[in-house]
Amino acid sequence: MGTSGCAPYSAAKAAVINLMESYYQALKPYSIGVSCLCPGGIRSNIGESSYTRPKHLENTGYNTNETTIAFMHKHYSYGIDPVELAHIFKKGIENDVLYVVPVPEPEKMMKGIVDRVVNYATAEGMKRQEELNKKRMEEMRKNPNPMMEGAAEAGWGKAREDLTWVKNKGPQT
């Protein structure tokens, strides 16, 4: 599902998920399995990718500086261990699971996503979802996620300041 601050990633992930579901259905008659890994955060050095990115790809448009890199390092330190993730993914492949979601309750998480999509399909549902979003934001303010502590101050998910065509209006309330 789309999230503010990472629209390109969300769009790419949606494309991959839909592609994998299409392949899953199309290749099943040939006994070819397809699994799509939806891992969330992975303990890695992905935040340091700006140091190794090829010169012709360095202009991402995202705000990347020492503060955002430090935040990403902290953020992803809470992620799943890559070796543990590999074991979970292997088990998902062996069990012919299409969506491998390495969280304690994948069904609950996926149901929440489906419920949100259903809500976005009607005017009444939109109102219902808006109320749920307000409650979720209020809960997040009361009980902040340590993974996200410092995100706003670091400018995580924001456009670079030198992009004049981007107007930062602040968070939507």
Mean pLDDT of 7-18: 91
Does some domain include residue 74? yes
57 lies in some domain: yes
Answer yes or no: pTM beyond 0.85.
Answer: no
Higher pLDDT, 154 or 6: 154
Tokens of 125: 């549902």
Name the DSSP class of 55: G
Catalytic, out of 9, 23, 30, 99: 9
| Least confident among 5-9, 47-51, 163-167 | 163-167
pLDDT confidence tier of residue 138, bands split at 50, 70 and 90: very high
Q: What is the pLDDT of residue 169?
A: 61
- Would you call 30 a catalytic residue per the annotation? no
Determine whether 17 is exposed, middle or buried from the number of CB atoms within 10 Å of its CB (0-12, 13-18, 19+): middle
Please give the angle made by the CA atoms of 142, 148 and 152, to the nearest 5 degrees: 95
DSSP H or E run through 97? none
Residue 30 included in any domain: yes
Cα gap 16→100, rounded to integer Å: 13
The 10s digit of each residue's pLDDT in 87-132 is: 999 999 999 999 999 999 999 999 999 999 999 999 999 999 999 9
Residue 173 has pLDDT above 50, yes or no: no
Please indicate whether residue 152 or residue 26 has the higher confidence score (pLDDT): 26
Residue-wise pLDDT tens digits, 47-93? 888 888 898 888 777 778 889 889 988 989 999 999 999 999 999 99
- Asked whether residue 159 is domain-assigned, the answer is no
Segments forming the whole domain that contains residue 104:
7-154
Q: Residue 56 to residues 11, 14, 59, 61: CA-CA distances in angstroms? A: 22, 26, 8, 13
Instruction: Give the type of residue at 132.
Output: L
Burial 137-150 (b: 16+ CB within 10 A, else e): eeeeeeeeeeeeee
- In the prediction, which pLDDT does 149 show? 85
Total domains, the chain: 1
Whether 2 is covered by a domain: the verdict is no
Question: Is residue 95 one of the residues assigned to a domain?
Answer: yes
In a domain, 164, yes or no: no
Percent of the chain with pLDDT over 70: 93
Residue 128 lies in a domain: yes
